[in-house]
């Protein structure tokens, strides 16, 4: 079985992290985003993953070579010379996806994090016998999204309503699809949208079905949602494999700590924190709702909340970093500095406080 992951473009919403690596390689819960998906696909028997990409394919492939051997799964790239939207890449990767077996293939949006109930999706697809299955998730504010209107009993999709003004339903496209090869025949090789151009046509022929996603879902393509996604992911880890989470008198709530990280005396860490490999957290540090990436050093009595600390950065003694501060790679925050929502580009030293959210070049 095969799968296509829509990797796409520059990851501008996650800058400054994506100035150092392509977005799918940015760690989420101590593992590159895209690896969460590749592992889930491998677990249900996918043998080949195609990455639809228009930016830095060499970087991606070099990085994923290790995982290819480790996971015993084939990973290839389908490179766009121009952005092709969400459907064009399927036409471009046609020869890689269609092997004559007639088997359906998965398509995933690379920003989506969930429990990936792909096995249930295969069953659902077999039972309804349509041409395409999409995963949908329930949201509290459907007016911000494109809503999928469907028959509750069968899951048959009736129509799509973009950012509805009046309530038509609360289920939105979750960015995970299972498609028969015939879907590719419907797509021209040009920039085109699968959600707006392809799916409505399949729905009009009564061949599109939606399965409601069990468990959590988040598009983690921007910082606020990345932090929320981390909370949901760690919650799910607590339910499904709590042995992976840290415990001890200095831990509050769900915390993930790489085994090579060192944590000093008298710290209070959590809830909803991920600490990456090789990090050094000195004594008396307070961390909550944050992601601390590989090789970071946090000095004594610093306090970090609702922020992302990029690779090999340092946060000085008694510094306070909060309110969606994002530090790019190799940023050094001096002692006793306050950052309120600063977005700091890589290789910077911060010597004066950032009092309101701003970008520091």
What tens digit of pLDDT does each residue of 78-125 get? 888 788 888 888 888 888 888 778 889 999 988 889 999 999 999 999
What tens digit of pLDDT does each residue of 22-78 get? 888 899 999 998 899 999 999 999 999 998 887 667 777 787 787 888 888 888 888
Interaxial angle between packed helices 57-71 and 33-43, expressed in degrees from 0 to 180 and rounded to the nearest 10:
40
What percentage of the chain carries pLDDT values higher than 90? 54
- d(C-alpha 33, C-alpha 29), whole Å: 8
pLDDT at 286 over 80: yes
What tens digit of pLDDT does each residue of 310-357 get? 999 999 999 999 999 999 999 999 999 999 999 999 999 999 999 998
What are the structure tokens assigned to 356, written together? 């309101």
Residue-level pLDDT at 11: 65
What tens digit of pLDDT does each residue of 157-183 get? 988 887 778 888 889 888 899 999 999
Contact 110, 37 (CB under 8 A): yes
| CB neighbour class for 162 (10 Å; exposed up to 12, middle 13-18, buried from 19) | exposed
**Which alpha helices (H) appear in 166-254, and where do they start and end?**
182-185, 199-204, 223-240
Contact 176, 108 (CB under 8 A): yes
Task: Say whether 63 sits in a helix, a strand or coil.
Answer: helix
Q: Which of 223, 214, 211, 218 is nearest to 234 (CA)?
A: 218
What does pTM read for this prediction? 0.89
What tens digit of pLDDT does each residue of 264-274 get? 999 999 899 99
Residue-level pLDDT at 301: 97
Task: Say whether 77 sits in a helix, a strand or coil.
Answer: strand
**Band (230; pLDDT cuts 50, 70, 90):** very high
């Amino acid at each position: 079985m095969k799968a296509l992951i829509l990797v796409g473009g520059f990851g501008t919403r996650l800058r400054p992290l994506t100035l150092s690596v392509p977005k799918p390689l940015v760690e989420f819960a101590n593992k590159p985003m895209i690896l969460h998906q590749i592992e889930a696909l491998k677990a249900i028997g996918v043998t080949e993953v195609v990455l639809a990409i228009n930016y830095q394919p060499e970087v991606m492939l070099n990085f994923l070579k290790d995982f290819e051997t480790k996971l015993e799964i084939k990973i290839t790239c389908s490179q766009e010379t121009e952005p092709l939207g969400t459907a064009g890449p399927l036409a471009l990767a046609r020869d890689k996806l269609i092997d004559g077996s007639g088997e359906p293939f998965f398509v995933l949006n690379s920003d989506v994090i969930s429990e990936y109930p792909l096995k249930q999706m295969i069953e659902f697809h077999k039972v309804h016998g349509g041409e395409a299955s999409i995963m949908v998730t329930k949201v509290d504010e459907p007016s911000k999204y494109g809503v999928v209107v469907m028959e509750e009993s069968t899951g048959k999709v009736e129509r799509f309503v973009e950012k509805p003004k009046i309530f038509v339903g609360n289920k939105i496209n979750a960015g995970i699809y299972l498609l028969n090869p015939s879907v590719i025949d419907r797509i021209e090789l040009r920039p085109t949208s699968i959600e707006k151009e392809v799916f409505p046509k399949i729905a009009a022929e009564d061949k599109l079905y939606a399965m409601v996603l069990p468990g959590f879902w988040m598009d983690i393509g921007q910082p606020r949602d990345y932090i929320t996604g981390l909370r949901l992911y760690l919650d799910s880890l607590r339910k499904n494999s709590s042995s992976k989470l840290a415990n001890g008198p200095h831990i509050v709530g769900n915390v993930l700590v790489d085994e090579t990280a060192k944590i000093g005396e008298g710290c209070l860490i959590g809830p909803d924190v991920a600490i990456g490999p090789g990090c050094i957290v000195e004594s008396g540090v307070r961390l909550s709702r944050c992601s601390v990436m590989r090789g970071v050093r946090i000095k004594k009595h610093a306090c970090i909340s609702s922020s992302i600390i990029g690779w090999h950065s340092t946060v000085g003694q008694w510094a306070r970093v909060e309110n969606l501060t994002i530090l790019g790679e190799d940023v050094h925050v001096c002692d006793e500095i306050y950052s309120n929502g600063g977005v700091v580009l890589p290789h910077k030293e911060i010597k004066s406080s950032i009092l309101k959210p701003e970008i520091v070049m």
